[in-house]
Structure 1
Amino acid sequence: MEIKILHPTSQKIKFKPVIGEKMNDLGLRLKDFLDEDEFDSLVSETAHILSRCTNPQLNQEQDVTHLTVGYVQSGKTLSFTALTALAADNGYRIVIYLAGTKNNLLSQTTKRLTKDLITSSSLNNAYKIFENPTDSKILEIRNKLRLSSKPTVLITLLKHYDHINKLADIFKSQPIKKELDKQGVLIIDDEADQASLNGFSYANSKKKSTSSEWDEETDNKESSTYASILNLRAAIPNHSYVQYTATPQGPLLISIMDLLSPESHTVLTPGKKYTGGKTYFKDFPDLIISIPDNEVFHYKDNPLKFPPKSLKEALQVYILGVALITNFWNKEKFLSMMVHADRQKGVSRLFHTWVSELIDRWTTILNLEDGDIGREDLDKEFKEIYEKEATKFYSIEDNLPSFNEIKLLIADAINDTQINLIISDSDAETEVDWESSSSHILVGADMLNRGFTVENLAVTYMPRYTKGKSNADTIQQRCRFFGYKQKYLKSCRVYLPTDSIIEYVDYVEHEEEMRTWLKNNDSLENVERQLMLAEKLNATRKNILPYNIVQTKMKGWHAMNALYSIEPNKKVVSDFLDANQFELWNPQYGTQDRKHKIYTVSVEKAIDFLTQFKFGNYADTARKQATIRYLQYLSSESEKPITHVHFIQMAYESEYRRRNFNPDTLKIDQLFTGRSTSGSETYPGDREIKLEDSICIQIHKVKLDCNQTNRLVGKVINTIAIYYPLDFATKYTNSEPEYFEPEDDE
């Protein structure tokens, strides 16, 4: 047995985990599936998570919330299985899993943990597992905790308030309280953005913000599952609550005062064979096929009467993939196809009928004798599709067979196809016998979303679109076509409406930027809880977010208000102006007030300036941080990275300009000088002093005026205005804290 002490470097660590026999035992079996780099990454990231959890050996009241972010279908279950083993090595006696909102997800988690940690293990009595325990199991759980082998008790739980409250009652019972005392308990919330967060957050915070008679005890509403999780956490004196999700928008943006708000985070690295959004929408966009607008089904606006041509083509592409991958090359035992048309159950039934009729018709035709005109026509259709789609990616080096070589296998693929309609809880809870056939077609909608594993998914047909703005986390959870598909990626296809393709491209940009930002900032305080989004997307559902969520466009001009940190900002500006050779803006205008200078600096220097320049209000500080983050993104992640930022010294010959300010809001009424078109003194206005090839930052020097007595009256300050060209326009969403500490006031 190898014992290794891990040394995380972050100051956020609670303790240093030790790798012991349980993690080593799991690791021996995982090495059949992971190469050395992947295994090392798993161990490192698992240690990163656990080191942010409470020290289970300290018998004292403590709790922590940690966020773990993976990709959709990328192996989050493997991560929390490894976390379980490492937690067991380090003294955690109980691990609880909030395993999804549906029974099939609960069963899936229980079976996976049993297989990976108990059945396949070389260790005896290392773990004991319970599913949805009630108070009848109190004494049995207590007895397991008393075993001399000190097993770790695993409890899988349906994410439903009734089951969670019953478990809370178990922890409140005297036998468990006495036996466990203040030993550490690990709570793993799988798909933590679903159901766990408070559905009344928006309504509560809006009422609190607008009502003078808010009562914290009587007016604060909690959704039932959220309240039950708080109840469970309150029943366990020493616990860590680890949120797992591929869509962290909700947990990142909920109020920082919320008890489920994370204080630290880990970003998981997918395995080398993972194919996610970047693979489909950036690296291999030909895998995505646009469904024509007139074939996009909508039960109100476009209720199709006949199966669309694109559905038929998608089925043919899929059948050819089965013939090639499973029957000719034997790369996989089976493949599957998903048809996700609309959340209306009647629409899923209609598409199920269409798919069944097409398969039945092809089966009948392929049983006809050679030379029959119907069979010849069908062979011709398949041949055209094969030659169009197969040659997109497969080359001579792939030993791609001719159509005649696989023609006989097409009938085998069709005859061995099972079609499943998944539109109810019972449908979703009935396990698909994947290995019983070489081909499976699943038709459904929301039941095929989050958590439902469609194994070996090759072709997705999803003619579904949202008329308004889509939620970023919702559309991502529909991506069952992500996963480990490198062995047959060239035969994968995703059929989507054009608008949906644009949304997914935008989402991939958002996801990659968000993951990079999270990776580069170990503390969520540094992350500033900001998300950059395309304007077509909302971050998440509105009801879980606080009322004071800020959504701001980074487009056009934004004047800032630096009425704090006056002297430090003067030095920042003075040093910046002295260090750079500003040149005259062309053209120059007549008066001192309208003469400006410009200098272009590197993105790094612009970020350094913004970092040093201070604001005393939350909105401007958030904008500054978002701009820094946006500059980093534009300079490194975009296809045409920017290399510079323009700084413009406004009215450089003037001692200052006079500007009125509001003493209540501490905002300048109007920073910009307006247009002048009279006589010879024409001036386009300050807003036209800009360039369009990159972000521009104007430096203003103003003397503050006000018609009231105020300590700032007569003060000369430096402030800035930022211009975001339309070509770079985006939106950022961030949560405004209930209390804001101004940046280093003078």
Structure 2
Amino acid sequence: MAAGPLTTALLADLGRKLSAEERETLLIETGQILSNCNPVDEIGSATGIVIGYVQSGKTMSFTTLTALAADHGYRMVIYLAGIKNNLLDQTTKRLKSDLQTEAENMKIFRVLQSPTMAEDSATLIKNTLSQRRKPVVLITVLKHYKHIGELTQIIKTPEVRDALGSQGVLIIDDEADQASLNTYARKNSKAEDWEEDEFSSTYSSILDLKAALKNHTYIQYTATPQGPLLINIMDLLSPKFHVLLTPGGGYTGGKTFFVDQPGLIVEIPRQEVYHYKLNDLEHCPQSLIEALQLFLIGVAIVVEIKQKARFLSMMVHADRETDASKKFHKWVKAILGSWADRLNDLDEGDPSRLELIAEFKSVYPEAVKLMDEPPAFDAVIEALLDVILDYRIHLVIGQGSKRSPEINWSSASAHILIGAEMLNRGYTVEGLAVSYMPRYTIGKANADTIQQRCRFFGYKRSYIQSCRVFLPEGTIEEYEDYVKHEEIMRGELSTKSLEEFEKVLVLSSSMNPTRNNILTKDIVRSKLLGWRQLNALQHIEENTRIVEEFRAAHEFTLFEDYKTSDRNHLMAKVPIDEAISFLRDFKISNVPDTLRKSSTIQYLNHMKEHTDLKYAYVFDMAYQVNQGRERSLIEKDGKLKINNIFSGASLSGSLVYPGDRYVYYPDFLCIQIHKIRLKHDSEWNRKILYTLGIYYPESLEHTFVGMP
């Protein structure tokens, strides 16, 4: 799509950051995204995924998309801007700055952060949409069901609904996998089924927002390489297109740190790896002292001597517990204060001063080992005398309802940020050079957790020689696996459609390095044991096609002759990979069953690799009942679900019928295909659809639990 005046102006402004080639790539990829969106003036919807690297410029992409959409007549853009207020503030500020909404474009864009009914935001939005100059409404909202629900209420008001009509709306979900199904997959509830109230209602609220808009496109921005999570998103929100973002030439991601230049990684000794219970350090670890020294030397060289940056920063991420952050903050503050005093207040010949200079000299070779022409150590120490007096330490932790104060990056040459979860995904650390992350993990972390801590990725090519990342041995190995997996995933996505990619994602062990750790023993014992039913009330035509194609591809035989069409069922013994493919293809659009389906696939893949599980049984229930067996549709907590798909036992007829739950083989995973004719006092009455019943055998549960 051609750039209009807003996009042209934005790209020109980005000329300070991007080369001409990078701006051209950005425009091409943004055009690909918008060209797949629902047309600006047609009722309908579309969903897509935009996949970038961590810290690679996703915000720049959706800001450019906003400008291009405005140039082509879209009237509203909604941003689901993270799960924390600081991320919401960060996104809003960035949009206002890049799109100059408070300068020359103030009459083109109207930015609203967290609009509410109480503030009469509906009237403000209606008036904006009704103006003859056709300004674009930009709405940033916290990714939380209450905030999204409040916005949905506003959208549903008659004044906004009438003013918006069928005009195009974009919903941009930043960090789409955050606050998602995966967050709740590990809940060890003892209930047999996943219930709606076990989940954040985030995705339900997104679906409600989508339903309130006549013409919209939902665009998920993510950098996650975690296979099961992408499967969850694909099932629930059914994306139809994807775009891979190309990072700029100055980008330094996982491949740079863990493949191309492994010398950037420093291993933290095992005894210095922090855990608030298992290893609550009493004294500042030596590795942190060395990290601080490397950082200050880097600032002296990059900022003071070579002047390649205005400032650099360091991040210390010790543990999720805020007390740990406070402990490390105390250590860092005391160390830097002592160094400043010794270097600048003591005489040049003072033994304490000379000892400190000797310590810096001992780490100097490590600091400059990747530099082609490093400055002399004496020049570095001379510059360091000023650096040690020009730093700021920031404790970045949650403080109840208070938001962390915004950092004034221009206030110092060196910034040291110490914090916990506030420094995770989405938080931008400007000029990050040294990262110190001594977090002790029990077991293997999953890919999305690893990704959250990738703040050290980004555009650092100009000072990459002074970057260092301090990590425990096990974490280094996890990052190496993560990077390998990320490159495989992007390679597959670059040549495959989403449908083709999803099949590879499910069946390829190389596509999910943490698959075996997704499920807990409690989940397998409580939720993946015995009979469970799915409620496939959406995608009726697509699921009908999927079932018919599966039937045609397999040879079914009669399970047992119970003499009546309602009780006679066909069965097929199928390879486990084909059972997995069938589950993958079958569409589910409610939160609990989407998670059940995804977890079943993960469970089967795990068992396939670690046991002799090679087959599953698929049953075509009551195959002669063309109109389906009648089942009631009931309402529970505002949600519709099929009351019970399984027929019970019966003593009537020529043979005793044991019931649908006995149509199975007890030592195999069994999938029943049920054709259902709904009974309900609504438009659902007499609708015919397919849904599934799944039997998880006790033998597999024991095998799973017994594994180390």
The TM-score normalised by the length of structure 2 is 0.71
Distance 2:554 2:201 in 1: 49
- Alignment match, 1:146: 130
Question: Which stretch shifts more, 328-337 or 497-506?
Answer: 328-337
Matching of residue 26 in structure 1 with residue 10 in structure 2? yes
Question: Is the contact between residue 472 and residue 540 of structure 1 (CA under 8 Å) also seen in structure 2?
Answer: no
Determine if contact 2:6/2:71 at 8 Å carries over to the other structure: yes
Match of 2:146 in 1: 162
The counterpart of 1:236, out of the listed 213, 228, 234, is 213
Is the contact between residue 482 and residue 513 of structure 2 (CA under 8 Å) also seen in structure 1? no
Aligned partner (choices 6, 12, 19) of residue 35 of structure 1: 19
How far residue 124 of structure 1 moved from its aligned partner, in angstroms, is: 6.3
Does 2:372 match 1:414? no
1:513 corresponds, among 488, 493, 499, to 488
| 1:293 CA displacement | 0.8
User: Which range moves more in the overlay, 368-377 or 301-310?
Assistant: 301-310
Q: 1:33 Cα deviation (Å)?
A: 2.1
1:610-629 to 2 correspondence within 5 Å?
Answer: 619-620=577-578
- Answer whether contact 1:470 1:538 (CA < 8 A) is retained: no
Partner of 2:232: 254
Of 373, 379, 403, the residue aligned with 1:405 is 379
Deviation at residue 456 of structure 1 after TM alignment: 0.3
CA 1:465–1:517 in 2, change beyond 3 Å: closer, same or farther?
A: farther
Matched residue, 2:565: none
Superposed CA deviations along residues 292-344 of structure 1, whole A, max 9, x for unmatched, are 11111222222222111111111111111111111111111111111111112
CA distance in 2, matches of 1:534, 1:176: 44
Pairing partner for 1:287 from 248, 264, 267: 264
Equivalent residue runs for 1:91-110 within 5 Å: 91-110=73-92
Q: Deviations over 1:693-721 (max 9, x none)?
A: xxxxxxxxxxxxxxxxxxxxxxxxxxxxx
Secondary structure at 2:476's aligned position in 1?
A: helix
- Superposed, 1:216-615 pairs within 5 Å as 222-247=199-224, 249=226, 251-254=229-232, 256-258=234-236, 260-366=237-343, 367-390=345-368, 392-395=369-372, 398=373, 400-425=374-399, 429-528=404-503, 529-530=505-506, 532-533=509-510, 537-538=514-515
Give the drift of 1:443: 0.9
Shift of 1:536: 6.5
| Distance across 2 between alignment mates of 1:289 and 1:662 | 46
| Alpha-carbon distance change, 663 to 294 in structure 1, aligned in 2, over 3 angstroms | closer
In the TM superposition, residue 662 of structure 1 has moved relative to its aligned partner by: 8.4
Secondary structure in structure 2 of the residue aligned to 1:189? strand
Distance 2:490 2:389 in 1: 44
Q: Does structure 2 conserve the Cα–Cα contact (< 8 Å) formed by 1:98 and 1:189?
A: yes
- Runs of at least 5 residues in structure 2 that lack an aligned partner in the other structure: 530-549, 556-572, 585-613, 620-689, 694-708
Correspondence list, 1:611-650, <5 A: 619-620=577-578
Corresponding residue of 2:59: 77
* Counterpart Cα distance in 2 of 1:115 and 1:468: 43
Deviation of the 1:183 alpha carbon: 1.8
Structure 1: give runs of 5+ residues left out of the alignment: 1-5, 7-17, 550-561, 568-614, 627-660, 667-736, 741-746
Task: Check 1:513–1:83 CA distance in 2 against 1; reply closer, same or farther (3 A cut).
Answer: same
**Structure 1: distance between partners of 2:616 and 2:471:** 53
Match of 1:115 in 2: 97
TM-score when normalising by structure 1: 0.68
How far 1:420 sits from its partner (Å)? 1.3
Query: Relative to structure 1, is the Cα distance of residues 432 and 256 closer, same or farther in structure 2, using a 3 angstrom cutoff?
Result: closer
Residue 415 of structure 2: SS of its match in structure 1? strand
Structure 2 SS opposite 1:429:
coil
Shift of 1:167: 0.8
What is the CA distance between 1:181 and its match in structure 2? 1.4
Q: How many angstroms does 1:158 deviate by?
A: 1.4
Q: Tell me the secondary structure at the aligned position of residue 31 of structure 1.
A: helix
| Structure 1 position 394, deviation (Å) | 1.1
State how far apart, in whole Å, the 1-side matches of 2:365 and 2:190 are. 58
Q: Distance in 1 between matches of 2:55 and 2:308?
A: 20
Corresponding residue for residue 112 of structure 2: 130
Give the secondary-structure state (helix, strand or coil) at the position aligned to 2:288.
helix
Query: In structure 1, how many angstroms separate the alpha carbons of the residues matched to 2:445 and 2:552?
Result: 39
Q: Are 1:198 and 1:223, in contact at CA under 8 Å, matched by a contact in 2? A: no
Distance in 2 of aligned mates of 1:203 and 1:370: 60
AA of the residue aligned to 2:90: Q
* Secondary structure in structure 2 of the residue aligned to 1:182: coil
SS at match of 1:118: coil
Higher-Rg member (1/2): 1
Query: Counterpart of 1:126 in structure 2: which amino acid?
Result: I
User: How many Å separate the matches in 1 of 2:303 and 2:187?
Assistant: 53
Cross-structure match for 1:65: 47
Give the CA deviation at 1:353: 1.2
**2:628 corresponds to which residue?**
none
Aligned to 2:16, the other structure's residue is in SS state coil
CA shift digits 1:157-212 (9 cap, x unpaired): 111222211110111101111111122211001111111448667889998xx78x
The one-letter amino acid paired with 1:40 is: E
Deviation of 1:78 (Å)? 0.4
The secondary structure found in structure 2 opposite 1:153 is strand
Q: 1:663 to 1:179 in 2, by over 3 A?
A: closer
Measure how far apart 1:664 and its partner are.
4.5
State the distance in 1 between where 2:59 and 2:516 align: 24
SS at structure 1 position matched to 2:489: helix
